Amino acid sequence: MPDVSTSPPPIVRGGPVEVSEGVYVIPDGRVELVPNIGIVVGEHSALVIDTGLGPRNGAYVLEQARRLAGEHRLYLTVTHFHPEHGFGAQAFKGAATIVYNAGQRDELRRKGAGYLDMFKGLSPAAEIELHYAELVDPDLVYEGTAEIDLGGRTATLRAVGPAHTASDQVVLIDDRVLFGGDLFETRIFPIVPYFPPFDVDVDGVRWMSVLDELVALDAEIVVPGHGEVADTKLIRDVRDYLGHVHEEVARLRAAGASADETAAALDTDARARWATWERPEWIGLAARAFYHGAGR
């Protein structure tokens, strides 16, 4: 994991920014362990996408959603189970209908407690935000695809994992705005949570296929898990990076390079090729995931 011990506190700050009619994003400000938060407001209902890390952030996001949506019915979903995206859900319990795909619910039950402990150990600030965090089951569970009618605006929830996690989800609003969670980031090396023996569910090959499918949607606006809002080129850029790592790992492995040698070579190569991207600590984990056959 990247060292975030001296990073700013992982607090969701600022107000929602309208990126399309009725679709708002609370930007992450490029702060570690803070995601982009989505709030989609229709005529009678609103959908919140991701919560931030812990109950205090969740309560802040709920407050912002109420400010935009008034007394509309609220829904909450998360792009995947990781703590900075979904461990503020307890603030929404009873205030919103929480909707996950079945894989998300199951992955949260399998791994949630372990990830809670791991993230508490990342920094004193993270521990503070997660001190009172509770794992929250959804109210509704779907398989495959689900649509939520918000009133004049439709949110399509689609399970696409395994990729970044075993149960990633994307949210498409009216075929125009795509929320992709950590399937792609802006100017950040893809987060590859390959932590053997505890978590090896990342599927690099499937991840590339998912990105191909998302490019084909041709959404006008693309909201990454972290980093600035962009367009479909962002997804292509991340797909190109993963494809390059996949091909280079296969070449080096066939030539007899060890996993350590392969990770070191890819680290040097990728830092030079994607010199403007942050968090190069994830390069080696991506190389090791492909080397050891994750997703093959």
Strands 17-20 and 154-159: unpaired
Its sign, for the CA torsion 144, 204, 155, 41, is: positive
The pLDDT of residue 226: 98
- Checking if the pLDDT of 1 tops 90, the result is no
pLDDT digits (tens, 9 = 90+) for 46-55: 999 999 999 9
pLDDT of residue 296: 45
Average pLDDT over residues 139-157: 98
How many CB atoms sit inside 10 A of residue 196's CB? 10
pLDDT, one tens digit per residue, over 86-138 is: 999 999 999 999 999 999 999 999 999 999 999 999 999 999 999 999 999 99
The structure's pTM equals 0.96
CATH classification for the domain delimited by 17-181+193-237, as one of 2.40.128.690, 3.40.630.10, 3.60.15.10, 3.30.2020.10? 3.60.15.10
Give residue 229's pLDDT band: very low, low, confident or very high (50, 70, 90). Answer: very high
DSSP string, 234-257: HHHHHHHHHHHHHHHHHHHHHTT-
| Cα–Cα distances in angstroms (integers) from residue 124 to residues 70, 120, 128, 244, in the given order | 35, 7, 6, 36
Say yes or no to pLDDT of 294 above 80.
Answer: no
| Direct distance between the N- and C-terminal alpha carbons of the chain, in angstroms, rounded to an integer | 23
CA pair distance 201, 99, nearest whole angstrom: 22
Per residue in 174-227, pLDDT (tens digit) is: 999 999 999 999 999 999 999 999 999 999 999 999 999 999 999 999 999 999
**Residues 78 and 89: beta-carbon distance below 8 Å:** yes
Positive or negative, the Cα torsion across 184, 185, 190, 196? negative
> Where do we find the tokens 């995947």?
80
- Over the stretch 240-252, which tens digit does the pLDDT of each residue have? 999 999 999 999 9
Q: Over range 4-15, report the average pLDDT.
A: 93
Residue 187's CB is within 10 A of a number of other CB atoms, namely 17
C-alpha triplet 58, 238, 190: angle, nearest 5°: 50
Q: What is the 3-state secondary structure (H, E, C) of 199-222?
A: ECCCCHHHHHHHHHHHHHHCCCEE
Confidence band, pLDDT 50/70/90 cuts, at residue 295? very low
Beta bridge partners of 278: 188
**Which residue in the block uniquely carries the two structure tokens 């050891």?**
292
CA–CA distance, 190 with 239 (Å, rounded to integer): 10
pLDDT of 4:
87
Average pLDDT along the chain: 96
Identify whether the C-beta of residue 227 lies closer than 8 Å to the C-beta of residue 181.
no
Please say if the pLDDT value at position 165 is more than 80: yes
pLDDT > 90? residue 6: no
Q: Where are the domains of the chain?
A: 17-181+193-237
Percent of the chain with pLDDT over 70: 99
